[in-house]
Amino acid sequence: MIICTLGIFLSKSYQDSHSEGVWKMVVAGDMMLNNVSPAVPVFGKWKPVKESVFYANLEIPLTDTEKRTARKSAEEIARRDQFILKAHPGHIRNLVNGNLDVVSLGNNHAMDWGSEGLNQTIGLLNEAKIPYCGAGANWKEAVEPAVVTSPTGIKIAFVSHLSFLNPSSLHKCTPATSKEPGIMVLTLRNKSGQEEFERLKRVVDRAKSKADLVVICPHWGIEKQPKPAPYQVSMAHLYIDAGADAVVGNHPHVLQPAEIYKGKPIFYSLGNLVNPGGGITAAYEVKYREKEFQSMTFIPLRYSSGRIFPRR
């Protein structure tokens, strides 16, 4: 097994310089836009070219509602065991200016401001024509993949879900039900094995029925840990075994290793893409020829006061 955090990874022993059918996907981490003014040019110094398919996790709901979730208690907030966060709705312009093609919402903050906050966020994304996945008015909508098309006509289905091992932690983040809004949640019961494989295969098959490639975007792991937890590795491998074409993880807010497993890329955590503080991070440019993975290239970045910069 090859696990690395930077460099250029090749799925073949050569790179064909012929560009016919070649397209690129850029994957990045958590967009933490809380306490960042919408006037800040978040993507003023770095953003992928429009010809790339650009994915990131929209960690913070874009809303001005005052009705917060009751599932995270005042005591938990005071102990900093839980956080309730939101960002100014005006940040939708920054997402458009950043050339975002698709975002995930299946995370632990999407429902911090309840159904009103989720509805406002989704409304802004719909108006901006930015597809999303991982949350919705009910379970059926929350599990629906976001399908985008590459410049060469390849359809890519993105699936987003929250995957914590503790059921009470999942409950605090408001899972969607058949009648109530929320996020898609999914975690391993037995860590590995045939039962889990079949369960994850159903997720992949549902998405693959709508697209040529499937990218799974789990929100998982342990915050601030530079190495993936064992269940992240088990789940990622099972997803690839089940037919997924890539796994792009987030939540730890720090970079974790990337891996090529059975010829498919896995990114365990891409850290923060943007944050009101400062730090180093990265994105990856993933190159395909039609439906075949070719290579992935590490893009070093840093963030400061809500802005993203190239890192040399």
> Residue 215 above 90 pLDDT?
yes
- pLDDT, residue 19, reads 76
**Token representation of residue 14:** 């050569």
What is the pLDDT, as a whole number, of residue 3? Answer: 52
Both tokens of 257, joined, read 């290793």
Query: 105-109, 253-257, 308-312: which range is least confident on average?
Result: 308-312
In this prediction, residue 191 carries a pLDDT of 76
Question: Which pLDDT score is estimated for 259?
Answer: 98
Q: What is the pLDDT of residue 9?
A: 47
The arithmetic mean of pLDDT across residues 162-183, rounded, is 96
- pLDDT over 70 (residue 1): no
Rounded Cα–Cα distance for residues 190 and 201 (Å): 15
In this prediction, residues 230-242 reach a mean pLDDT of 97
Q: Name the pTM for this structure.
A: 0.94
**pLDDT average, residue stretch 49-77:** 97
Q: Provide Rg for the chain, Cα atoms.
A: 18
Query: Distance between CA atoms of 258 and 242, rounded to whole angstroms?
Result: 19
Judged against a pLDDT cut of 80, whether residue 13 lies above it is answered with no
User: Of the segments 12-16, 100-104, 166-170, which one has the largest average pLDDT value?
Assistant: 100-104
Sequence-separated (6 or more) residues with CB below 8 Å from residue 79: none
Sheet holding 264-267, edge to edge: 2-4, 258-261, 264-267, 246-248, 213-220, 155-163, 146-149
CB atoms within 10 A of CB 153: 10
Q: Residue 234: helix, strand or coil by DSSP?
A: helix
pLDDT of residue 187: 86
The answer on pLDDT for 193 being more than 90 is: no
pLDDT at 11 over 60: no
Helix/strand/coil (H/E/C) assignment for every residue in 97-144: HCCCCEEECCCCCCCCCHHHHHHHHHHHHHHHCCCEECEECCHHHHCC
pLDDT digits (tens, 9 = 90+) for 22-35: 999 999 999 999 99
Q: Of all residues in the chain, what percent carry a pLDDT higher than 70?
A: 94
| pLDDT in the model for residue 189 | 80
pLDDT in tens, 116-141: 999 999 999 999 999 999 999 999 99
- For 234-243, what is the mean pLDDT? 98
Give the pLDDT score at 4.
52
Please check the confidence at residue 47 and state whether its pLDDT lies above 60.
yes
- Domains of the chain, start order: 2-9+37-310 (3.60.21)
% residues pLDDT > 90 (the chain)? 91
Give the per-residue pLDDT at 287.
98
**Is a pLDDT exceeding 60 seen at residue 298?**
yes
Q: State the average pLDDT for the chain.
A: 94
